[in-house]
Amino acid sequence: MSDVKKWLHVDMDSYFASCEQQANPFLRGKPIGVVGNPYGGKAYRSVIAACSREAKKFGVKSGMPPYKAKKLCPNLLLVPADRAKYEYVTRRAVKIFSRYAPEPQLFSIDEAFLDITQTQGSSRAYDVACRLQCEVKSAFGGYITCSVGIGPNRFLAKVASEIKKPGGVFEISKENQKEVFSSLNLEDVFGIGVQTRKKLKEIGIQNLEELASAPPGVLREKLGMKGESLKRLAQGKESACLSRPAQALKHSYHKTKPVSCSRSQTLASDCHSLSKLKSLLSFLSEKVASELRSQNLTGNIVRVNIRYQDFTSFSRQRKLDSLLMPDGAVIFQKALRLLQRQGLEKPVRKAGVAVTGLREHKQPFLFEKEKKREKLLEVKDKINSTMGDNTILPLRCVDM
C-alpha cells in the first residue's frame, strides 16, 4: 500500500443559510442573511453569521453588519439564527462522516477532516467524496450540500475544498499542487487575513511562491511563530494549527498556553439600567469561569470593559493577591466592584469580562467551604454539558 495519506476536507456550503432555506421553502433562491435576532428589527446590532449563495453574489459576506449588507443587497432577507438546528445537522453529518473515516475531526461547526487512507479500499478518493456528498444531500434534503477537498494532508484538502464551491469535489495531488498554488492569492491560505497580508507585503512577499521560499529569519522577525507556520503551509506542508483541530479553533497558532479568557456582549439596545448590566456581567462571568474550568485554568487579574452608546469606552482591571477560584460568583463580585468604583456615565452598548494572568489550576482547596463549592461547580458543568449550555445559571444572571 502507498504511504501517501488521503484526507478529505468536508465544508458545508453557506451552512446556516442553507439549513434555513431547507427548512423554509419561501427562502429558496432568495438572498438571505442569518442574524442573531431580527425580530422587531433588533438585528441591526448584530452581524451576518452566514449568507446564502444568492446574497454572496451581491458581495454580502459573513461578519458584515446588516445595515451594510442591506446597502449592497436591498432585498436581503434577515432570518433568525437557530443554533439547535445547526448543531443537529452537524451531529448527524458527523455520523455520516464516521462511516467514511472512523474518527472524523470536527474543525468547526461546518467543517470536518476525514482520514480515508485506510477506509477507501480500492475506490478512488474522488468517488468516495462524491458518495459522501450524495449521502449528505439525501439525509437533509437538496438544499444542504457540501464541498469536498482531497489532499495528502489536511491543509491541502482544506485548500482544495474551496476551489469548486458550492457542491464540488477537487483534489490536490503532487502533480497539480504547483499549478493550483500559482493560481491562489495569499488570502486564500488559512490564517492569512488582511493584517497578515499587509505585513507580508511589507517584507516584499506578494504570493505563495515567494512565501514558500522566504528566509525563515525574516518571517519570524515580522510575524513570530506564525511566520514559520505560514511558510510551511505555502510549501504545501501541514502546520500545527491544523494538526489538533479542536485546540486550533481556540488558540489559532499559539502553541503556548492562553494568557487571557474573556467574554463580551453587544446589547440589542443600549442599557440604561444598572440591574440589567449586573445581570449581563454575571452571565459573562459565568461563561469565563466555565471556560477556565474546562481548561483547568485560573488567573489573578480581573478586567471589565464597557463601551458606551457613543463608542467611548473604559477598561478597569485589578490584580489580586492570590489566584482566584474559577467560579462565576467570585469573578462577578470582583468585576462588579470595578464597575461600581468607576460608575456609569452614559447608556452602555457593550460589556465584557476577562480574567488574565492565567495559570494551571492545580492547587487543591484547603477549606471545606471551597471544596464543597468546587464539587457543586463540577456537577453544574456536568449538567450543562449533557443538557445544554445555560441549563443551570445563577438567578442573578436573569434580569428581573
Give catalytic residue positions.
Answer: 111
Considering only residues 29, 59, 80, 216, which one is a binding residue for other proteins as defined by CB under 8 A?
80
Does 389 help bind other proteins (rule: CB under 8 A)? no
Cα–Cα distance for residue pair 101/131, rounded to 1 Å: 13
**Radius of gyration in angstroms for the set of CA atoms belonging to the chain, rounded to a whole number:** 24
Considering only residues 79, 128, 189, 241, which one is a binding residue for other proteins as defined by CB under 8 A?
79
Nearest approach, Cβ of residue 339 and other proteins (Å): 32
Number of residues assigned to the chain:
400
Does 139 help bind other proteins (rule: CB under 8 A)? no
Does 379 help bind other proteins (rule: CB under 8 A)? no
Considering only residues 138, 378, 388, 389, which one is a binding residue for other proteins as defined by CB under 8 A?
388
Does 26 help bind other proteins (rule: CB under 8 A)? yes
In sequence order, the 6+-apart residues with CB closer than 8 A to the CB of 74 are: none
Cα–Cα distance for residue pair 285/352, rounded to 1 Å: 9
Nearest approach, Cβ of residue 131 and other proteins (Å): 23
Nearest approach, Cβ of residue 198 and other proteins (Å): 40
Cell numbers placing 108: 468547526
Nearest approach, Cβ of residue 27 and other proteins (Å): 8
Q: Residue 71 phi/psi, 5° resolution? A: -65, -40
Closest to 12 measured CA to CA, from 77, 126, 109: 109
| Interface stretch with other proteins, choices 85-93, 97-105, 162-170, 193-201 (CB under 8 A) | 85-93
| Interface stretch with other proteins, choices 97-105, 214-222, 261-269, 382-390 (CB under 8 A) | 382-390
Task: Please answer whether residues 29 and 54 qualify as being in contact, where contact means their C-beta atoms are separated by less than 8 angstroms.
Answer: yes
Considering only residues 65, 141, 191, 394, which one is a binding residue for other proteins as defined by CB under 8 A?
141
Considering only residues 15, 140, 170, 190, which one is a binding residue for other proteins as defined by CB under 8 A?
140
Longest dimension (CA), the chain: 70
Q: Identify the sign of the CA torsion 325, 330, 331, 337.
A: negative
One-letter amino acid at 266 equals T
One-letter amino acid at 217 equals G
Would you say 144 or 336 has its CB closer to other proteins? 144
Q: Residue 159 phi/psi, 5° resolution? A: -60, -45
Would you say 32 or 233 has its CB closer to other proteins? 32
Strands 7-12 and 32-35: unpaired
Nearest approach, Cβ of residue 29 and other proteins (Å): 13
Cell numbers placing 328: 462565576
Task: Please answer whether residues 73 and 53 qualify as being in contact, where contact means their C-beta atoms are separated by less than 8 angstroms.
Answer: no
Cα–Cα distance for residue pair 284/395, rounded to 1 Å: 13
Nearest approach, Cβ of residue 40 and other proteins (Å): 9
Q: Which of residues 344-373 bind other proteins (CB under 8 A)?
A: none
Does 309 help bind other proteins (rule: CB under 8 A)? no
| Interface stretch with other proteins, choices 238-246, 360-368, 373-381, 383-391 (CB under 8 A) | 383-391
Considering only residues 4, 29, 39, 138, which one is a binding residue for other proteins as defined by CB under 8 A?
39
Would you say 215 or 388 has its CB closer to other proteins? 388
Does 236 help bind other proteins (rule: CB under 8 A)? no
**Size of site (CB under 8 A) for other proteins:** 22
Does 142 help bind other proteins (rule: CB under 8 A)? no
Would you say 80 or 193 has its CB closer to other proteins? 80
Cα–Cα distance for residue pair 254/237, rounded to 1 Å: 18
Cα–Cα distance for residue pair 148/126, rounded to 1 Å: 9
Q: Identify the sign of the CA torsion 239, 243, 245, 251.
A: negative
Considering only residues 85, 199, 337, 373, which one is a binding residue for other proteins as defined by CB under 8 A?
85
Cα–Cα distance for residue pair 3/183, rounded to 1 Å: 28
Q: Is 204 left (phi over 0), alpha (psi -120 to 50) or beta?
A: left
Does 65 help bind other proteins (rule: CB under 8 A)? no
Does 387 help bind other proteins (rule: CB under 8 A)? yes
- Enumerate binding residues for other proteins (CB under 8 A): 19, 22-27, 38-39, 79-80, 84-85, 87-89, 140-141, 386-388, 391
